[in-house]
């Protein structure tokens, strides 16, 4: 289960990097990619939550960081869909928090 979460987060990260290039250049993000990135990360988060409830010890720090990143992702998608300006700092922070969570998850798993 934790390996599946790592795979889903990896795929979401690749798409997230692609999306970040659009945000940093001030261009509109491709909505199809956006609507794949979010559910992939959400599925990884659900698997991680289920894992945390079933096994001890759990990757608690990673889980907390992924939840914070998800909250930032909700803000980003809301701003993206309402055609508001996309704050570059928030997109970067969202990605950095997710990367930190991913590193901690890898450290926990391996």
Residues near 32 by Cβ (< 8 Å), separated by ≥ 6? none
Per-residue pLDDT tens over the stretch 4-45:
999 999 999 999 999 999 999 999 999 999 999 999 999 999
Instruction: With beta carbons less than 8 A apart as the criterion, state whether 50 and 1 touch.
Output: yes
pTM: 0.95
Residues, the chain, total?
A: 110
The pLDDT of residue 84 is: 73
* Helix, strand, coil percentages, rounded to 5, for the chain: 85, 0, 15
Q: By CB neighbour count within 10 A (0-12 exposed, 13-18 middle, 19+ buried), where does 68 fall?
A: middle
The pLDDT of residue 52 is: 96
Return the CA Rg of the chain. 14
Domain ranges for the chain, please list them.
2-109
Per-residue pLDDT tens over the stretch 72-109:
999 999 999 997 788 999 999 999 999 999 999 999 99
């Amino acid at each position: 289960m934790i390996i599946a979460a790592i795979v889903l987060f990896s795929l979401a990260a690749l798409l997230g990097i692609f999306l970040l290039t659009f945000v940093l250049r001030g261009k509109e993000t491709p909505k199809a990619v956006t609507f794949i990135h979010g559910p992939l990360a959400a599925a990884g988060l659900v698997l991680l939550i289920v894992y945390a409830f079933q096994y001890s010890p759990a990757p608690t720090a990673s889980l907390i960081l992924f939840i914070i990143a998800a909250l930032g992702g909700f803000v980003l998608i809301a701003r993206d869909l309402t055609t508001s300006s996309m704050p570059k700092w928030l997109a970067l922070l969202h990605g950095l928090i997710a990367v930190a969570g991913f590193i901690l998850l890898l450290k926990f798993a391996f």
